[in-house]
Amino acid sequence: MSAATFSLNLGADAKPAPVRIEQLVIAGWTGRDKRAVEEHIRELEALGVKRPLSTPIFYRVAVSRLTLASSIQAIGTRSSGEVEVVLLRSAGRLWVGVGSDHTDREVESYGVTVSKQMCDKPIAAQFWAFDDLESHWDLLQLRSRIEENGEQVVYQDGTAAAFLQPRELIRGYARSDTLADNTLMFCGTLAARGGVRAAERFDFELEDPVLKRKIQHHYRIVPLPIAG
Protein backbone atom coordinates (compact mmCIF):
# COMPACT_ATOMS: atom_id res chain seq x y z
CA MET A 1 0.00 0.00 0.00
CA SER A 2 1.31 3.44 -0.92
CA ALA A 3 1.80 5.71 2.08
CA ALA A 4 3.49 8.93 3.13
CA THR A 5 4.74 10.31 6.44
CA PHE A 6 4.12 13.90 7.51
CA SER A 7 5.31 15.86 10.52
CA LEU A 8 2.05 16.83 12.22
CA ASN A 9 0.96 18.26 15.57
CA LEU A 10 -1.74 15.93 16.87
CA GLY A 11 -3.17 17.98 19.73
CA ALA A 12 -3.46 21.68 20.53
CA ASP A 13 -0.14 21.79 22.40
CA ALA A 14 1.61 18.91 20.66
CA LYS A 15 5.02 19.11 19.04
CA PRO A 16 5.55 17.95 15.44
CA ALA A 17 5.83 14.18 15.16
CA PRO A 18 5.81 11.75 12.22
CA VAL A 19 2.32 10.61 11.19
CA ARG A 20 1.78 7.95 8.54
CA ILE A 21 -1.07 8.39 6.06
CA GLU A 22 -2.11 5.49 3.84
CA GLN A 23 -5.44 6.64 2.38
CA LEU A 24 -6.52 10.06 1.13
CA VAL A 25 -10.25 10.55 0.52
CA ILE A 26 -12.03 13.60 -0.90
CA ALA A 27 -15.72 13.67 0.05
CA GLY A 28 -17.88 15.60 -2.41
CA TRP A 29 -21.49 16.77 -2.43
CA THR A 30 -21.57 16.77 1.36
CA GLY A 31 -24.09 19.58 1.87
CA ARG A 32 -26.64 19.02 4.63
CA ASP A 33 -29.42 20.71 2.59
CA LYS A 34 -30.31 18.00 0.06
CA ARG A 35 -32.56 20.31 -1.96
CA ALA A 36 -29.74 22.84 -2.43
CA VAL A 37 -27.35 20.03 -3.42
CA GLU A 38 -29.79 18.79 -6.08
CA GLU A 39 -30.28 22.30 -7.47
CA HIS A 40 -26.52 22.74 -7.79
CA ILE A 41 -26.17 19.36 -9.52
CA ARG A 42 -28.75 20.45 -12.10
CA GLU A 43 -26.96 23.76 -12.65
CA LEU A 44 -23.71 21.93 -13.37
CA GLU A 45 -25.46 19.41 -15.62
CA ALA A 46 -26.59 22.33 -17.76
CA LEU A 47 -22.93 23.25 -18.17
CA GLY A 48 -21.97 19.72 -19.20
CA VAL A 49 -20.71 18.41 -15.84
CA LYS A 50 -21.90 14.87 -15.23
CA ARG A 51 -24.18 14.10 -12.29
CA PRO A 52 -22.32 12.38 -9.43
CA LEU A 53 -22.99 8.67 -8.98
CA SER A 54 -24.08 9.30 -5.39
CA THR A 55 -24.37 12.08 -2.82
CA PRO A 56 -22.17 12.26 -0.96
CA ILE A 57 -19.49 10.74 -3.17
CA PHE A 58 -15.99 9.71 -2.10
CA TYR A 59 -12.99 10.12 -4.40
CA ARG A 60 -9.75 8.28 -3.65
CA VAL A 61 -6.66 10.39 -4.34
CA ALA A 62 -2.98 9.49 -4.30
CA VAL A 63 -1.49 10.14 -0.84
CA SER A 64 1.52 11.70 -2.54
CA ARG A 65 -0.72 14.67 -3.42
CA LEU A 66 -0.85 15.77 0.24
CA THR A 67 1.58 18.54 1.12
CA LEU A 68 2.46 20.89 3.97
CA ALA A 69 4.26 23.23 1.57
CA SER A 70 3.64 26.96 1.25
CA SER A 71 3.95 26.78 -2.54
CA ILE A 72 2.58 24.35 -5.13
CA GLN A 73 2.91 24.02 -8.91
CA ALA A 74 -0.13 23.58 -11.14
CA ILE A 75 -0.59 23.20 -14.89
CA GLY A 76 -1.82 26.44 -16.46
CA THR A 77 -3.93 29.03 -14.69
CA ARG A 78 -7.28 27.23 -14.39
CA SER A 79 -6.87 25.74 -10.92
CA SER A 80 -8.10 27.05 -7.58
CA GLY A 81 -8.28 26.16 -3.90
CA GLU A 82 -11.21 25.42 -1.63
CA VAL A 83 -11.07 25.31 2.15
CA GLU A 84 -12.28 22.11 3.83
CA VAL A 85 -12.31 20.49 7.24
CA VAL A 86 -10.15 17.36 7.20
CA LEU A 87 -10.53 14.31 9.42
CA LEU A 88 -7.56 12.14 10.29
CA ARG A 89 -7.63 8.76 11.99
CA SER A 90 -4.27 8.12 13.62
CA ALA A 91 -3.14 5.94 16.52
CA GLY A 92 -6.74 4.93 17.21
CA ARG A 93 -8.07 8.49 17.59
CA LEU A 94 -9.92 10.92 15.33
CA TRP A 95 -8.33 14.30 14.70
CA VAL A 96 -9.56 17.46 12.96
CA GLY A 97 -7.60 19.84 10.78
CA VAL A 98 -8.00 22.03 7.71
CA GLY A 99 -6.83 21.80 4.12
CA SER A 100 -7.44 22.94 0.56
CA ASP A 101 -8.79 20.64 -2.13
CA HIS A 102 -6.92 22.48 -4.87
CA THR A 103 -8.51 21.42 -8.18
CA ASP A 104 -7.95 21.86 -11.90
CA ARG A 105 -11.23 23.49 -13.00
CA GLU A 106 -10.81 22.86 -16.71
CA VAL A 107 -10.33 19.12 -16.17
CA GLU A 108 -13.15 19.11 -13.61
CA SER A 109 -15.63 20.12 -16.33
CA TYR A 110 -15.20 16.76 -18.07
CA GLY A 111 -13.78 14.44 -15.40
CA VAL A 112 -14.13 15.15 -11.68
CA THR A 113 -12.24 12.03 -10.58
CA VAL A 114 -9.31 12.92 -12.83
CA SER A 115 -9.37 16.56 -11.72
CA LYS A 116 -8.92 15.47 -8.10
CA GLN A 117 -5.63 13.82 -9.06
CA MET A 118 -4.26 16.82 -10.97
CA CYS A 119 -3.24 19.10 -8.09
CA ASP A 120 -1.48 18.94 -4.73
CA LYS A 121 -3.68 19.12 -1.63
CA PRO A 122 -2.17 21.51 0.96
CA ILE A 123 -3.01 20.90 4.62
CA ALA A 124 -2.05 22.67 7.82
CA ALA A 125 0.20 20.78 10.22
CA GLN A 126 -1.93 21.40 13.32
CA PHE A 127 -4.77 19.04 14.32
CA TRP A 128 -7.24 19.08 17.21
CA ALA A 129 -8.86 16.12 18.95
CA PHE A 130 -12.35 15.46 17.57
CA ASP A 131 -13.62 14.63 21.07
CA ASP A 132 -12.99 18.25 22.09
CA LEU A 133 -15.08 19.58 19.19
CA GLU A 134 -18.01 17.23 18.73
CA SER A 135 -20.34 18.98 21.20
CA HIS A 136 -20.07 22.31 19.32
CA TRP A 137 -19.19 21.02 15.83
CA ASP A 138 -21.67 23.17 13.91
CA LEU A 139 -20.11 26.35 15.32
CA LEU A 140 -16.72 25.70 13.73
CA GLN A 141 -15.92 28.38 11.16
CA LEU A 142 -14.18 27.92 7.81
CA ARG A 143 -12.67 30.80 5.85
CA SER A 144 -10.46 31.35 2.88
CA ARG A 145 -8.97 34.42 1.23
CA ILE A 146 -7.34 34.94 -2.12
CA GLU A 147 -4.91 37.54 -3.36
CA GLU A 148 -6.36 39.75 -6.09
CA ASN A 149 -4.65 42.87 -7.42
CA GLY A 150 -2.28 42.76 -4.45
CA GLU A 151 -5.07 42.68 -1.86
CA GLN A 152 -6.53 39.96 0.37
CA VAL A 153 -10.17 39.24 -0.55
CA VAL A 154 -12.58 36.97 1.37
CA TYR A 155 -13.27 34.00 -0.91
CA GLN A 156 -15.22 31.59 1.33
CA ASP A 157 -16.80 32.00 4.75
CA GLY A 158 -19.21 29.72 6.60
CA THR A 159 -19.63 27.11 9.32
CA ALA A 160 -19.47 23.34 9.60
CA ALA A 161 -23.27 23.35 9.91
CA ALA A 162 -23.39 23.51 6.10
CA PHE A 163 -22.10 19.94 5.83
CA LEU A 164 -23.07 16.46 6.90
CA GLN A 165 -21.83 15.51 10.36
CA PRO A 166 -18.42 13.78 10.46
CA ARG A 167 -19.85 10.51 11.76
CA GLU A 168 -22.33 10.41 8.87
CA LEU A 169 -19.53 10.96 6.35
CA ILE A 170 -17.42 8.26 7.98
CA ARG A 171 -20.28 5.76 7.81
CA GLY A 172 -20.94 6.68 4.20
CA TYR A 173 -17.36 5.97 3.18
CA ALA A 174 -16.16 3.26 5.56
CA ARG A 175 -19.50 1.46 6.09
CA SER A 176 -18.62 1.46 9.77
CA ASP A 177 -18.43 3.94 12.64
CA THR A 178 -14.69 4.56 12.30
CA LEU A 179 -12.19 5.34 9.59
CA ALA A 180 -9.33 2.93 9.16
CA ASP A 181 -6.19 4.06 10.93
CA ASN A 182 -3.93 6.30 8.81
CA THR A 183 -6.83 7.64 6.71
CA LEU A 184 -7.31 11.35 5.96
CA MET A 185 -10.62 12.65 4.58
CA PHE A 186 -11.54 16.07 3.16
CA CYS A 187 -15.15 16.84 4.14
CA GLY A 188 -16.56 19.30 1.59
CA THR A 189 -16.34 22.99 0.83
CA LEU A 190 -18.31 26.24 0.76
CA ALA A 191 -19.53 28.34 -2.15
CA ALA A 192 -17.03 30.90 -3.42
CA ARG A 193 -17.98 34.54 -3.07
CA GLY A 194 -17.91 36.09 -6.51
CA GLY A 195 -17.56 32.72 -8.23
CA VAL A 196 -14.82 30.10 -8.51
CA ARG A 197 -11.61 31.63 -9.83
CA ALA A 198 -7.86 31.25 -9.79
CA ALA A 199 -5.48 33.33 -7.67
CA GLU A 200 -1.76 33.58 -6.98
CA ARG A 201 -2.15 32.95 -3.23
CA PHE A 202 -4.69 31.03 -1.14
CA ASP A 203 -5.07 31.51 2.64
CA PHE A 204 -7.35 29.27 4.69
CA GLU A 205 -8.29 28.71 8.32
CA LEU A 206 -10.45 26.75 10.73
CA GLU A 207 -11.66 28.63 13.80
CA ASP A 208 -13.10 27.20 17.00
CA PRO A 209 -15.05 30.11 18.55
CA VAL A 210 -15.86 28.14 21.69
CA LEU A 211 -12.31 27.20 22.67
CA LYS A 212 -11.00 30.37 21.00
CA ARG A 213 -8.32 29.00 18.71
CA LYS A 214 -7.46 28.82 15.01
CA ILE A 215 -5.56 26.66 12.57
CA GLN A 216 -4.19 28.63 9.62
CA HIS A 217 -2.17 27.94 6.50
CA HIS A 218 -1.45 29.54 3.14
CA TYR A 219 0.27 28.71 -0.12
CA ARG A 220 1.18 30.26 -3.44
CA ILE A 221 0.33 28.73 -6.78
CA VAL A 222 3.07 28.63 -9.41
CA PRO A 223 1.61 28.01 -12.91
CA LEU A 224 3.43 25.67 -15.26
CA PRO A 225 3.26 26.26 -19.02
CA ILE A 226 0.97 24.24 -21.25
CA ALA A 227 3.23 23.14 -24.10
CA GLY A 228 0.55 21.56 -26.24
Q: Where are the alpha helices (DSSP H) in the chain?
A: 34-46, 105-108, 112-118, 166-174
CA separation for the pair 66, 6 (Å, rounded): 9
pLDDT, residue 108, reads 86
Helix, coil or strand: residue 228: coil
Burial of 211 (0-12, 13-18, 19+ CB in 10 A): exposed
pLDDT digits (tens, 9 = 90+) for 134-160: 999 999 999 999 999 889 999 999 999
Q: Which of 67, 98, 95 is closest to 82 using CA atoms?
A: 98
Q: How many CB atoms lie within 10 A of CB 64?
A: 12
Helix (H) or strand (E) segment spanning residue 144: strand 141-148
- Residue ranges and CATH numbers for the domains of the chain are 4-224 (3.90.850.10)
% of the chain residues with pLDDT over 90: 81
Residue 11 has pLDDT above 90, yes or no: yes
pLDDT digits (tens, 9 = 90+) for 50-93: 888 889 999 999 999 999 999 999 999 999 999 999 999 999 99
Q: How many CB atoms lie within 10 A of CB 176?
A: 9
